[in-house]
Amino acid sequence: MSDVNSSSRDKILEVAEALYARRGFAGVGMREVADAAGLGKSSLFHHFRSKVQLYLAVLERVLGRIEERLQPILALQVGAAEKLDRWIDAVIDELAEQPATARMLLRALFEEEEFETGNWPEGQAVDRRLAAVLEGITRMIAIGMRNGELRTASAPHVVQTLIGATIFHFASGEIGEGLLGGPLLSAEAVRERKAETKAFFHYGLAARPAQSGEGEKS
């Protein structure tokens, strides 16, 4: 524990992130992680007390990177629409630079694992970071709606749509590439996704003069 930069520990987190992203917690064994990290299986348990703890550590690292991207944007002294644009750019940059991030985030957002996050200290940290990010974005959008900069809608619903538009796209892998007819992560594809997403939310949330509601029925 004397060496904070323990390179083995980082290596484990790195390869585990890639593996868990692809096949999930249950789909990846400790032996597979150890082999990918160039270590014996026993060595993993020297750095992480259990498989659950390793998985949660990976998840926390992913969420930490997202949180670091979000905080400076929320602190900017600009309008909500501008913040939203910058946030879309920032999160897409992160998802494109770290290809495992999107799938890990998606798993964290929808999967029901066989363990309870609340029972582990690392799990509570994960929950806290996730809540912080979601609340930050929701508040940012809600403020933009309240002061008339954005069309009035349900902020949580917009956040759900935003998550889908960003995270799911970069998690969709082969299916997404089949749909687009090309790679997801090329510089051009990333640029295009940013533009499409920003344009869509721009139009979808643009403030409008009061009008009779259009196209709403069950």
Partner DNA sequence: CTGCCGCCCGACCGATCGGTCGGAGGGAAC
Partner DNA sequence: GTTCCCTCCGACCGATCGGTCGGGCGGCAG
Chain residues binding DNA by CB under 7 A are 1-3, 6, 8, 28-32, 34, 38-43, 45-47, 49-52
Q: Is 109 in the site for a copy of itself (CB under 8 A)?
A: yes
Q: How many CB atoms lie within 10 A of CB 102?
A: 26
Q: Which stretch binds a copy of itself (CB under 8 A): 37-45, 58-66, 67-75, 185-193?
A: 185-193
Which residue blocks in 3-146 are alpha helix, DSSP H? 7-27, 30-37, 41-47, 51-75, 80-97, 101-110, 121-146
CB of 59 to DNA, least distance (A): 15
Residue 24 touches which of a copy of itself, DNA, none (Cβ within 5-8 Å per kind): a copy of itself
Q: Quick check: 150 and 207 in contact, CB under 8 A? A: yes
Q: Report the chain's terminal Cα–Cα distance, integer Å.
A: 59
Residue 38 touches which of a copy of itself, DNA, none (Cβ within 5-8 Å per kind): DNA
The length of the chain in residues reads 218
Q: Is 201 in the site for a copy of itself (CB under 8 A)?
A: yes
CB of 110 to DNA, least distance (A): 21
> How many whole angstroms separate alpha carbon 86 and alpha carbon 7?
33
Residue 80 CA, chain-centre distance (Å), reads 20
Chain residues binding a copy of itself by CB under 8 A are 22-27, 85, 89, 103, 106, 109-114, 130-131, 134, 138, 151, 153-154, 156-161, 163-169, 171-176, 178-181, 188, 191-206, 208, 214-218
